[in-house]
Amino acid sequence: MKLAICGFGRAARALAKNILDTDTHTLQAVLCRASSTKQGMDIGDILYGKGKSVGIAITSPEKILEAREDYDIDVVIDFSHHDMAFPLIALCGNLGANLVICTTNHSIEEISKFQEFSEKLNLGVVYAPNLTIGINLLMDFVKRLAKISPDFSFEIVERHPKDKAPVTTTARMISQAIDREDVPIHSVRLNGYVGVHEVTASNGYEKITIEHESFSRMAFANGALLAAGYIQNRKGFYLMQDVVKDIISDK
Ligand SMILES: NC(=O)c1ccc[n+]([C@@H]2O[C@H](COP(=O)([O-])OP(=O)(O)OC[C@H]3O[C@@H](n4cnc5c(N)ncnc54)[C@H](OP(=O)(O)O)[C@@H]3O)[C@@H](O)[C@H]2O)c1
């Protein structure tokens, strides 16, 4: 696949390393907002240290548009910021590329706009605020458990580094999957964690705990590539759950 990445923070750097370390895909471009201090820097200098350039300079959506005939991109993967999703949908419409949105904290209204715009512009878009297969399987499991066991109560514990939002989008989505009034969400914020989501359910006679932990941002990079492979030759709007459901139904 011919890929572009938007953003060059922790998750995007893990993805870039993954792409550069294998021969399966090519990294056609890395873009950041026009005001980013990373503009013009070679990503090799950031990933591997000064003097280790790989010939990919960070650019902006605006510059890519100006020189669109120089770019051949199948899928753009967004690991930047909540606000970049709509500008990237417009960019992909112009480039004829598809999009995987990995950023978080979008409202239901924004998500339905993603769907509307992807259909209007005839794009393929995956909205993937939780990228790992494990988390998507966990959500599927707790949804079934809540449905078949109405006497069970559920609690969610999530552990993340200190700079993470007070409640993650993933924890909220797990709560929606359980679909009960007031499922408590307990947030632990300590550096060292990449991401843990744990759900415990009990009816007073038996208890089940299911926990997912990401050890490395490579887990997110792998999920992003899975979603990109899924959307490469599709049109329309999909959630990461759709991607995982299709993978499971193949097995
Ligand atoms: N779906 C998942 O499973 C998953 C997993 C990991 C992360 N994420 C999401 O991916 C995003 C990045 O995470 P991260 O951990 O890599 O964060 P990070 O290390 O803080 O990197 C953030 C990136 O976004 C750019 N940025 C910051 N503010 C911006 C703005 N207002 N407009 C455009 N770009 C902006 C930053 O670059 P400049 O400041 O140079 O512009 C940087 O490249 C977050 O939304 C996070 O929630 C999702």
**CB of 8 closer than 6 angstroms to any ligand 1 atom:** yes
| Count of structural domains, the chain | 2
Beta strands 195-202; 207-214: pairing state: antiparallel
Q: What angle do CA 195, 199, 201 make, to 5 degrees?
A: 170
Using the mean position of ligand 1's atoms as its centre, give its distance from the Cα of residue 135 in Å: 20
What CATH number is associated with residue 23? 3.40.50.720
Contact 251/140 with Cβ under 8 angstroms? Answer: no
Test site for ligand 1: of 33, 81, 170, most ligand atoms within 8 A of the Cβ: 81
Per residue in 206-226, pLDDT (tens digit) is 999 999 999 999 999 999 999
pLDDT in tens, 171-211: 999 999 999 998 999 999 999 999 999 999 999 999 999 99
Protein residue with least CA distance to atom 40, ligand 1:
36
Q: Same structural domain for residues 162 and 238?
A: no
> Domain check: are 72 and 178 in the same one?
no
Q: What is the pLDDT of residue 248?
A: 77
The verdict on the CB of residue 79 being under 6 Å from ligand 1 is yes
Residues 66 and 153 occupy one common structural domain: no
Q: Are residues 48 and 158 in the same domain?
A: no
Same domain flag for 238 and 208: no
Residue 58 shares a structural domain with residue 73: yes
77 and 60 housed in the same domain: yes
From start to end of the chain, where are the E strands?
Answer: 2-6, 26-31, 75-78, 98-101, 124-127, 153-160, 185-189, 195-202, 207-214, 236-239
Domain interval for residue 89: 2-131+218-249
Residues 112 and 157 in one domain: no
Q: Are residues 138 and 62 in the same domain?
A: no
- Ligand 1, atom 29: closest residue by C-alpha: 81
Do 210 and 227 belong to one domain?
A: no
Question: What's the CA-to-centroid distance between 160 and ligand 1, angstroms?
Answer: 15
Q: Say yes or no: 125 and 31 in one domain.
A: yes
For a substitution probing ligand 1, which of 31, 102, 226 has the most ligand atoms within 8 Å of its CB? 102
Q: Is the pTM of this model over 0.85?
A: yes
CA–centroid distance, residue 205 to ligand 1 (Å): 43
Residue 101, both tokens: 């949105």
pLDDT beneath 50: ranges in the chain: none
Residue 185 sits in the same domain as residue 85: no
Name beta bridge partners: 26: 2
